[in-house]
């Protein structure tokens, strides 16, 4: 029987990448509101001060950690520092990501590598670093990868980003099947259209906004709070039998296309 206790994250430690702003910050604060302590990761540790203050105000531990997840050496150093802190994260929110709108015939190898190294390669090696101590200790955990509508559909001028998020879904399914027997669940969130620094370039176009709202059955863009419940569900014992899935939080967009 499911109870409120199934959604309680008290005593859990969540590692959240890209936690300084947007979706990452919202999910870090949302997980803390349900009881988790937070290891907040971003390239600039100072940028994590607001989210750490918000988590601390809820009575939970929040530790800022600087790391560029596109750099494998930086990921290794991140987990070495976490080990020295004596922290043992059992929730991972793989949120760090970048995008740059660019016509496909103008994409350079450097741009492709920058996006894929952060969004996909970085996510894999963060997941690996997170899982290794859990696998060694025989302890369970939950990974929530940030997918996208582009995990399922193509978006013009976003080929590299689309490739990274399609790859994220494939990675989610592969890790879920490999680690299920060890008690590590791996799922993904697929946010619809949420206004963030990453997507602001689209929202600056009022014609685009009107056209996109016409494609969303619920008739509005997402709000950060819309993602928190879904993330808490996937991270918590309420989703104990859920792995290898992507949960689209998109106001019905995917269902309507």
Query: Which token pair is 211?
Result: 């056209």
Query: Which token pair is 12?
Result: 């859990």
- Provide the pLDDT for residue 2: 61
- Provide the pLDDT for residue 3: 65
Catalytic, 161? Answer yes
Q: Cα–Cα distances in Å, from 23 out to 14, 192, 198, 222?
A: 15, 12, 10, 11
CA separation for the pair 27, 18 (Å, rounded): 10
pTM (two decimals):
0.95
Which residue ranges of the chain lie beneath pLDDT 50?
none
- Provide the pLDDT for residue 73: 98
**CA atoms lying within 13 Å on the CB side of residue 23:** 29
DSSP string, 57-116: HTT--EEEEE--TT-HHHHHHHHHHHHHHT----EEEE---------GGG--HHHHHHHH
- Provide the pLDDT for residue 1: 60
Other beta carbons within 10 angstroms of residue 212's beta carbon come to 16
Query: Which token pair is 131?
Result: 């899982």
Strand, coil or helix: 158: coil
Hey, which CATH number is domain 4-256, 3.40.50.300, 3.40.50.720, 3.40.640.10, 2.170.260.10?
A: 3.40.50.720
For the chain, the structural domain boundaries read 4-256
- Provide the pLDDT for residue 114: 97
């Amino acid at each position: 029987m499911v109870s409120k206790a199934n959604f309680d994250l008290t005593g859990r430690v969540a590692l959240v990448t890209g936690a300084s702003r947007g979706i990452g910050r919202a999910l870090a604060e949302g997980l803390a509101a349900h009881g988790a302590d937070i290891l907040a990761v971003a390239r600039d540790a100072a940028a994590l001060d607001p989210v750490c203050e918000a988590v601390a105000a809820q009575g939970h531990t929040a530790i800022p950690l600087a790391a560029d997840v596109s750099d494998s050496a930086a990921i290794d150093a991140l987990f070495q520092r976490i080990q020295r802190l004596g922290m043992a994260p059992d929730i991972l929110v793989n949120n760090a990501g970048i995008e740059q709108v660019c016509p496909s015939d103008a994409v350079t190898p450097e741009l492709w590598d920058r996006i894929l190294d952060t969004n996909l390669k970085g996510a894999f090696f963060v997941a690996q670093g997170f899982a290794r101590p859990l696998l060694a200790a025989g302890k369970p955990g939950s990974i929530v990868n940030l997918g996208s509508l582009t995990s399922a559909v193509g978006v013009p001028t976003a080929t590299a980003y689309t490739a990274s998020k399609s790859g994220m879904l494939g990675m989610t399914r592969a890790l879920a099947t490999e680690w299920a027997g060890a008690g590590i669940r791996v799922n993904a969130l697929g946010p619809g259209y949420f206004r963030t620094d990453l997507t602001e370039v689209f929202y600056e176009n009022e014609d685009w906004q009107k056209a996109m709202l016409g494609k969303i059955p619920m008739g509005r863009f997402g709000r950060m709070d819309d993602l928190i419940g879904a993330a808490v569900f996937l991270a918590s014992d309420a989703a104990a039998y859920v792995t290898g899935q992507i949960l689209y939080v998109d106001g019905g967009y995917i269902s309507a296309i």
